[in-house]
Amino acid sequence: MISPEEIRQQAERWWPEVLRATLTGEAFFPKPLIRIGKVKANERLRAFDRIRAEQEALLAGCKSRNGNGYTLHWEERNYRNVGRNRFIAAISIDTPDDYLHLLRRGAAYRRFRADAQLILEKVPRLQTWCVDNPLEIEAYHGQWPDLLRVVRYFMDEHQPGQYYIRELPLAIPTKFIESHLKVLASLLDAALPPERINDDFRGVNQFEQRYGLKYRQPTVRLRLLDAAMAQQYFSGLSDLQIPLDDFARLSLPLQRVVILENKTNFSNLMNFLTLPRQSATAGIFGSGFGLGGLKGVEWLQQVELLYWGDLDAHGLQILSQLRGYFPHARAFLMDRATLDAFPQYVLADAPESTAATLPHLTGDEQALFDYLNANRLRLEQERIPVAYVRERLLIK
């Protein structure tokens, strides 16, 4: 038969539902326990002493001057050998007070109710959130005044793009929001109207973008290959690192841009630094599969766009990704002629790509992808002689 400790363990699993019923007003008690190990008829005589000891333990466990905790429901039987005896037929917890007494959770329950009342007074729109997340209410006890202050700010005062996360005009510790991003994201999703949330961004790592805060921008490294343009617009500076939003707002008379893949490799950087001088042309030091950051840069749609990555399956996969944003992008030194021109530099150690058909490659490029991937071949861009690069780049 079930023990008093096992009763407490079973009741413990009800805690979230008890809290939820408190918020909805639904009746949760009386509640019968399940799997109590009810005595079978053929055991009553054969294991009479054990059964009596187990029942006495349960009877002792439910009696207290402060409350019962649980209630035992009995049935009586008359046996010729042992006389009339009663056996436990069911066990229930009948009232919220009994339940809280059993788990010694009275103080926790009162804290929960006070926190829930505070939340709904300050932000009534969080009613459904509270019902769905009772354990979150309990977990953040003591922090709800500051959490709700943040939520009300975003509901009533926030202007997109005005502040960084640590400079919000709130009387809270400067790192409070950063320490509570997960729960705040959940609260803001429930409290804010959909038009105040940028659903292109998700998760705590994109909290600022999702809720319209200023954030530390990724940067784009731009090298102007046109000395006259560099002098006119940047006092002669030709190698610039620019936050992405500022990069998207550039207005330069560029006609051609070359994007180089970035594997944070000195040799690849040297390719970027040794691109030949050329009028109305710039180089971008890219970031592999992170090139998606450029997709919102509208002015790149208006220039001739070249992509130069390693000549391997992954390089062509990145090219296909880039064409998804910029259909006019062309590959530079990523063709069969270049591969065949430098057989001495081709390696057979490239990681295999799991991609099959890449939707933005031409037929020749897809065939080259299949060939490189099947043989795990690669020609790293830094192995191509500078003279060859300059010759091909200067060909219009």
Tell whether the model's pLDDT for residue 12 goes beyond 60: yes
Q: What is the pLDDT at residue 39?
A: 65
Tracing tokens 């008359």 back to the chain, one arrives at 78
In the numeric block, which tokens belong to residue 231? 């002098």
Q: What is the pLDDT at residue 81?
A: 60
Average pLDDT over residues 160-175: 92
Tracing tokens 């973008």 back to the chain, one arrives at 209
Q: pLDDT, tens digit, for every residue of 192-241?
A: 999 999 998 998 999 999 999 988 878 889 999 999 999 999 999 999 99
Domain spanning 219-393: CATH 3.40.1360.10: yes
Q: Could you tell me how far CA 256 lies from the centroid of its own chain?
A: 37
- Please give the span between the terminal C-alpha atoms of the chain, in angstroms, as a whole number: 88
Q: Which amino acid is at 143?
A: Q
Angstrom distance (rounded) from CA 75 to CA 308 = 84
Q: What is the pLDDT at residue 46?
A: 61
Residue extents of the structural domains in the chain: 4-104, 107-210, 219-393
How many Cα atoms are found within 13 Å in the side-chain-facing hemisphere of 266? 0
Do residues 273 and 245 touch, judged by C-beta distance below 8 A?
Answer: no
Q: What is the pLDDT at residue 302?
A: 96
Q: pLDDT, tens digit, for every residue of 23-40?
A: 999 999 999 998 887 766
Band (264; pLDDT cuts 50, 70, 90): very low
Angstrom distance (rounded) from CA 362 to CA 336 = 13
Torsion angles phi and psi, residue 379, rounded to 5:
-120, 105
Instruction: Indicate the average pLDDT of the chain.
Output: 89
Angstrom distance (rounded) from CA 165 to CA 80 = 80
Q: What is the pLDDT at residue 301?
A: 96
Q: pLDDT, tens digit, for every residue of 111-166?
A: 999 999 999 999 999 999 999 999 999 999 999 999 999 999 999 999 998 999 99
Helices 313-325 & 363-375, crossing angle to 10 degrees?
Answer: 150
Tell whether the model's pLDDT for residue 341 goes beyond 50: yes
Q: What is the DSSP-derived secondary structure letter of residue 322?
A: H
Q: pLDDT, tens digit, for every residue of 77-102?
A: 776 665 677 778 889 999 999 999 99
